[in-house]
Amino acid sequence: MIRACGAPELRPRIVTDERIRAVLLAEAEHLPSIVLSSAAAANAVMLGAGYFSPLEGFHSRVEAVAIARGMRTPDGTFWPIPCLNLVPTADGLAAGQRITLRDPNLPGAPVIAVQRLESIDALTAAERAYLLERIFRTADPAHPGVATLLAQGDIVLGGPIEVLNFSYFEREFPDTFRTAMQIRAEIAARGWRGVVAFQTRNPMHRAHEELCRIARERTGADGILIHMLLGRLIAGDVPAAVRAAAIRRMVECYFEPGTVLIAGYGFDMLYAGPREAVLHAAMRQNAGCTDFVVGRDHAGVGSYYGPFDAQRIFHEDVPAEALAIRIFEADQTAYSRRLGRVVMKRDAPDHGPEDFVELSGTRVRELLAAGASLPPEFARPEVARILGDYYRSIASEDDP
């Protein structure tokens, strides 16, 4: 199976020994504690679940600046986006301490991890601006990723962590949430040698469906991992439970049995465009995938990134030896009126604009929010029913 990122094997930070876990939970009740931001809690989940291997914890200020500059820590470890625990104040904390990290997303803020503080540093205004420009390519506070980072504070708490649970993800999504270790085990159990991963934060319309099929065929993969984000998105996005139901129904009805693995991961969307595409690739390599689909405006939002910037970064900025996973560069997909099916536009050079029906997750959401039916070129009827039921339910809640 494909190697993990930066190491021969995964280095998950979850504590699996129940005796050690009980000792840490008892210790945590007597340590200084902080309530994490949702972003930092998501980082803890990803560290615990093996997706952020080989990282051992949160990056320091020095490491964060180095990663922003060249996607490497000072010791040479490749990583595309700093894994940060940012707080507004560190009053009462000192380097060398062990502290309790509490989960902001559950009632009562229970313990999620224990961190050993190796460094406590404040970002300067110049460093903060540098991080924003390098990671998000903008400092615009209207950008949701920028807004999230700015809201957390400027104190960087660096150091390794021991993760004690996966927050709400296991309980709320028992059939979908999977760690990188679990996905690797499932790939091995199925005997798949080649696996192409598809990232989604949206319901899958017909363009997504066909793109998965094309990617599997052209990479020669044995199977497809449809890997959905389960954490926080932005207002107006479809909840994870609805997306999961729609995706399962699509796979059940329209994919060859035994060729698709559906799973989810516990992370908040960053909307960091090209840098996040590289992070997504590293995560899927850690999950055991050999290929990863990077499409148009991958991990983008608004007009902050060019349509194919997330593909160019792998050629221009990612060192050749940094990742073992291969990138499947997808063109924009559209429904061909002439062929009666979804195609990548580059595969239909004889088509003109009038021959295509443009497909997008944004357009699907707009139609559903307006109470309109999805045309068959946009979505399978089984998927459209699930999404339509959801949008009708929220419309009825809004009625006086």
Q: What one-character-per-residue DSSP string does 162-176 give?
A: EE---TTHHHH-TTT
CB 276 within 8 A of CB 299: yes
Same domain, yes or no: 294 and 382: yes
- Tell me: the pLDDT tens digits for 328-365? 999 888 888 989 888 888 889 999 988 888 867 677 77
Number of domains in the chain: 2
pTM of the model: 0.94
Distance (Å, whole) CA 334 – CA 394? 29
> What is the model's pLDDT at position 73?
97
Same domain, yes or no: 144 and 260: no
Residue 229 within a domain: yes
Residue 315 within a domain: yes
Over range 171-182, report the average pLDDT: 96
SS3 (DSSP) at 195 = strand
Single residue among 170, 199, 233 that ends a domain in this structure = 170
Residue numbers annotated as active site: 201-202
Residue 13 within a domain: no
Contacts of 19 (CB under 8 A, 6+ apart): none
- Tell me: the pLDDT tens digits for 212-266? 999 999 999 999 999 999 987 776 678 888 999 999 999 999 999 999 999 999 9
Same domain, yes or no: 226 and 130: no
Same domain, yes or no: 179 and 325: yes
Domain that holds residue 311: 175-398
| Residue 30 phi, psi (nearest 5) | -115, 5
SS3 (DSSP) at 358 = strand
- Tell me: the pLDDT tens digits for 76-98? 999 999 999 999 999 999 999 99
Candidate ranges 272-281, 351-360, 390-399; pick with highest mean pLDDT: 272-281
H-assigned helices in the chain: 18-28, 38-48, 61-70, 125-136, 144-152, 169-172, 180-190, 206-219, 240-254, 274-286, 309-316, 361-369, 381-398
Residue 4 within a domain: no
